[in-house]
Amino acid sequence: MPFIRACKSCGRRNRVPASHLTHTGRCGACHEALPAIDEPIEVDAQLFDEVIESPNVPVLVDFWAEWCAPCKMAAPEVARLATTQAGQAVVLKVDTDAHPELAARFNVRGIPNFAVFLGGRMVMQQAGVVGHDTMEQWLKSAKPLATA
């Protein structure tokens, strides 16, 4: 299932396959550049599976809930990470109230809970609020696995 991205130049909605979220592309209408995804992506179980299996880059997943104050504290750091790692990693957000099956699947007992995936495999998981630098280090430490 592709993601829909609006072109910043003409507003046209473009489909982007999960395997190309870290790539730049061109708008189908005006042919202006579509940059790599630079914001956290809210996903359901189907999109979650598709994204963590597709990219050759690390995927950071933020398991969160609307009522969770620490999750709200972590949200700006997660958004900043998506911006600074655009083209090098993908950042997903999973609402544990809306998708409890995903939380159960990865034994999420406390939120916020962060997990890093590479090639469909979880390489690390940690609960609790952390800063941008820590999350960035998790992604950097996962990258060498992509070339192995």
Q: What's the whole-model pTM score?
A: 0.88
Question: Is residue 55 very low, low, confident or very high in pLDDT (cuts 50, 70, 90)?
Answer: low
Q: Give the largest Cα separation in the chain, rounded.
A: 46
Mean pLDDT value of segment 27-45: 91
Mean pLDDT value of segment 18-25: 82
Secondary structure element (H or E) that encloses residue 49, with its range? helix 45-53
pLDDT digits (tens, 9 = 90+) for 58-79: 999 999 999 999 999 999 999 9
Residue appearing with tokens 């409890």: 100
Mean pLDDT value of segment 109-127: 95
Question: Is residue 130 very low, low, confident or very high in pLDDT (cuts 50, 70, 90)?
Answer: very high
Mean pLDDT value of segment 6-35: 87
Structure token pair of residue 40: 């956290």
pLDDT of residue 147: 47
Whether 68 is catalytic is yes
Whether 30 is catalytic is no
Architecture label for domain 41-147: 3-Layer(aba) Sandwich (3.40)
Pairing of strands 121-127, 113-118: antiparallel
Least trusted range by pLDDT, from 36-40, 65-69, 101-105, 142-146: 142-146
Higher pLDDT, 25 or 70: 70
Distance, in Å, from the CA atom of 30 to the CA atom of 32, rounded to the nearest integer, reads 6
Domain borders along the chain are: 3-34, 41-147
